[in-house]
Each structure stands twice: as structure tokens, then as C-alpha cells.
Chain A
Amino acid sequence: MRNNRVVITGLGVVAPNGTGVAAFNEALQQGKSAIKFHEKLKELNFRCQIGAKTNVEQSYKEKLLPDFFIGKVRNNAIINACLSGMEAWLDAGLTPNENGVDYESGIVFGAGDLSFDDAKAPNEAPTVLIDAGNNRRLGSRSISECMNSGASAYLNNILGLGNRIVSNSSACVTGSEAILVGYEHIKNGKAKRMICGSTESDGHYIWGGFDSMRVLCSDSNENPSFGSRPMSATSSGFVPGGGSGALVLESLESAQERGAKIYAEILGGEFNSGGQRNGGTMTAPNSEAIVACIKSALAEADIDPKEIDLISGHLTSTKGDPIEVQNWVTALGRSGEDFPYINTPKSMIGHSVGGAGSIELVASVLQMEHGYVHPNLNCEELHPEITRLISSDRVPTEMVSKKIDTVIKANFGFGDLNCVLVLRKWSNK
């Protein structure tokens, strides 16, 4: 088995607070919130009437996508996946294959559930047409826009790649898992390049189920930008979002051969499950498994926990945040003033569900690339369980300009799933 080093050579993103990497980078630095009140949610009797939606200009779509996608594809999660995927591919200095097939490149692109998109008019929803005995009106795109592999299938319609085309789905871990799967595939010598990412719709169909579970923030309908406050003493539930992130992963050898710009190296990663035992359930993680997952990722990366500059946490703005911080303290053996910086873009863009991991990994790479730690909004009043464990200055509320060499990133998802990745800024070593 080969043991290739794997690097990141391209980035793309459609986040609620920034379309495209440059806008997203600026939004992160400024601490720009995209969380707004939505009248529609109020009309529909949602408890949580706030959320973060992506907002893509038509001209941006025209720049990156073929006419057919703009005129006919009606699923926003797929459109956003194709936009972030194309941006990443072009950013890596690569172009779509007009005629031939590139058998050395593949895709891992996941989603929580593509069929929850609400871009279609209610009377055009597949279930409505079928129940009305009108299935002939579904047309050719009903399946391809609902199937879980829709995002990677449409993206590859543009790119023409011939290596493995994977569509993973692991709830809120989907994004980081996509990057882990692509990393392992290249590491094992099975491909030169993998475009990895995830996407999720934003809107009432996907948000409704979470609202019903009472896991969303319902105390900030009058003050939307205060709703998402990870690690705060008053965290009251997550604010729903959506969007897509994509990264081009490549073997170091391939990247150097073609003189590509290298952002960072993926040093290691791990995926495990708490088995829905020992405190783990469908919706809550088993801490023992999380600690093991972090330790195992560090072991693969072969680094000392002391080398970590920044933790990009899962941190959803729920009562799970203090438990997550406790797990980081246990796994890294660092606490108080010795604890790394910790943040998450969720205070600005809410929780993008399946899209979260890939968007947050783009944020992680940007912070290394440009030397900063982005602010955490709304956590001036940290949770007492957290201040008991770490110094409050480890949770910056304003941007910190600082060289960031090593980031550890985690996401946790329904089904008691955990994924951890360790990234290092590229310094040609």
C-alpha cells in the first residue's frame, strides 16, 4: 500500500455570510453574522424563526456553471455544491475536461439529504405530483436532484472525472468525513486528486424536523444575530443554516509536479462511532469515543498535542458545548492558559448540518493561510463549566492576528458519529 502525503490545493465555498472564498474570508475576519428572522418560519408556526441562508447572485452562477444548470436545475443544495466544487477546482489551477475523462481524479461529495430542498414550488414536489396520479410530470430530473449522489453526479457532469465518485452521508459529520475519505483514497495511492466537500439545503423543510425536536434556538426571534452563541452560558439550541464547502485534495507528488499552490497538508484523521452506548445515543455523543477519536487522529498525524494552535470545534450552541470542551481537555491533556485557541464559524452562520464540516474546514485553511483566529460572536459570557476548564482568552471574541500552523478539526453527528482531522499549514517541508 502506498503512503502518499496529501495536501490541499484548492478551496471553494458558498456560506451564508459569504459566496466564494474571498468573501467568506473577509466575513470570518469581520465576524459577519448571516442569521436573520424569516417571516416564512413564523407563518409556519416554527418555534425557531431565525436561520442562515445562502444568497448567491445570478452573475456568480453564470460565471461558474453551464447554462443548463442555471436554467433547469432546481435544487439549491446541488447548485451550491457545483459552485463550491467548481471554485475549488479552478482555484487548484485545474479545468473541466471538455472531451476526455480524467481517471486520476475523483469526487467525494456528501449531503445530509438532498430531497429536503425547497426550491421547487410546493405543487411541484415529487410526493404531491405522485399522490395526484401525475407522476408523468416529474420529468427527468426528479431522481437526479433527489438522489443522495445528486451533488457529486451534477458536479461531475461539469468536470468529467473518472476515478471513484463517492457520495457520503453521515449527518453533521458528512463534510469532514468527505475530506477524510478523499484523504485516505489518495494516501493509499488510488487517485492523484479528489475534490471533497458537502452541501445542505437551507429552508423550512429540512429545518422543520429539528424545530420539532426542540433542539433549535427559540429565544432570539427578536434578536436573530444573538441566536447562535456556542460556548455561552446562555446557549439555548442551534440556529439552522445551509451551504457548501469544497477542497481539492492532492498527493504531494502530483501537486509539486504541476507546480500547484499548496495551502496545507492533511497530517492525519480518524472516524469512529460511540456505538450509541456508554452515554451515546442517536442524538448525543459517547465522550469516551470522542476522546479516542481525537487521540487516534493525533497518533496518525504523529504530532504532540502541544503543537496544536487552534481547535475548530463542532460547538453547535447547545448544552453539548461544555462536554465537547471537556473532551478536548481530556484528549489533548491541555487546559487553562495552556489550551489552544478554540472557535467555530457557527456563531455567524449557524449550523449547516451536512454542509458544516466542509465549510468549517475551508475556514480552518483560511485561518492558517492568512494568519488569524476568527472571532466567536455572542460568547462574552462563557459557560461556567468551560471557564472552569480553560482560560477565557482561549475563546476569542474578536479576531486575533497570529500565525496558525496546526489546526485540529472535529465534527460530531446524529447516529453517534465522530470525525477528526489534523491540518498543517504548508511550509515546503
Chain B
Amino acid sequence: MTREQIKDELKGIIGDYVPEKELLESLSEEHELIGDLKINSAHIVDIVLDIEDKYDIMIEDEAIGKMGTVGESIDIIFQKLDSK
């Protein structure tokens, strides 16, 4: 799986939580989930659960804290997939 594929899949997962849909069109790895994409911080746990279901992985609290941007979230997904 390439980073670009994961990014596309992540876009599908976070789509419902992003209030301004136009932000998704030019989604970049630098985008902060809360700051730039304006995702309600309470929904980060929902996104984590959706990611866990999608890739059959488990993301611990410590890793959740590192998912600040789209790129960092992709890193975490890769790490967890590698250690499966």
C-alpha cells in the first residue's frame, strides 16, 4: 500500500467529520486534523475507531496523541500495519 492510497482512504474516513467539504479537495499531509480541517476534537476518538476497523489494527492512547496532522496519521497507520 502506498502513502497516496492510505491518504485517499483516510480522506474517506475523516470526510463526515470535516465541516467544510472544500477543505477535503486539496487535502495535504501537512493539514492539521483539528487546526486546519476544523474537526471537533471529540471526534478524534471516532476517527481512530474507524481507522482501527478499516485496517484491523489497534491504536493506543499514546499513538493517538501523535496524530496531529494527516501525514502523522498516515505514519501511525503504516507503523501499526508493519508490526501486525
Contact = CB atoms under 8 A, between A and B. Distances in A.
B16 A67 contact: yes
Contacts of B63: none
A139 B49 contact: yes
A123 interface: no
A400 to B, nearest CB: 48
Interface residues of B, number: 10
A71 B16 contact: yes
Nearest to A144: B42
Contacts of A72: 16-17, 46
B45 interface: yes
A147 to B, nearest CB: 13
A67 B15 CA distance: 9
Given A68-B16, A71-B16, A72-B16, A140 B21 contact: no
A390 B80 CA distance: 75
A198 B78 CA distance: 47
A72 B21 CA distance: 16
Interface in A170-201: none
B45 A140 contact: yes
Nearest to A72: B16
B43 interface: yes
Interface in B25-42: 42
B16 A139 contact: no
A214 interface: no
Interface string A35-74: 0000000000000000000000000000000111001100
A140 B16 CA distance: 14
Contacts of B42: 140
A139 B17 contact: no
A84 to B, nearest CB: 23
Interface in A70-99: 71-72
A71 B16 CA distance: 6
B81 to A, nearest CB: 20
A68 B17 contact: yes
B49 A141 contact: no
Contacts of B49: 137, 139
Interface of B: 15-17, 19, 21, 42-43, 45-46, 49
21 contacts: A66-B19, A67-B15, A67-B16, A67-B21, A68-B16, A68-B17, A68-B19, A71-B15, A71-B16, A72-B16, A72-B17, A72-B46, A137-B49, A139-B45, A139-B46, A139-B49, A140-B42, A140-B43, A140-B45, A140-B46, A141-B46
Given A72-B17, A140-B42, A140-B45, 15 more contacts: A66-B19, A67-B15, A67-B16, A67-B21, A68-B16, A68-B17, A71-B16, A72-B16, A72-B46, A139-B45, A139-B46, A139-B49, A140-B43, A140-B46, A141-B46
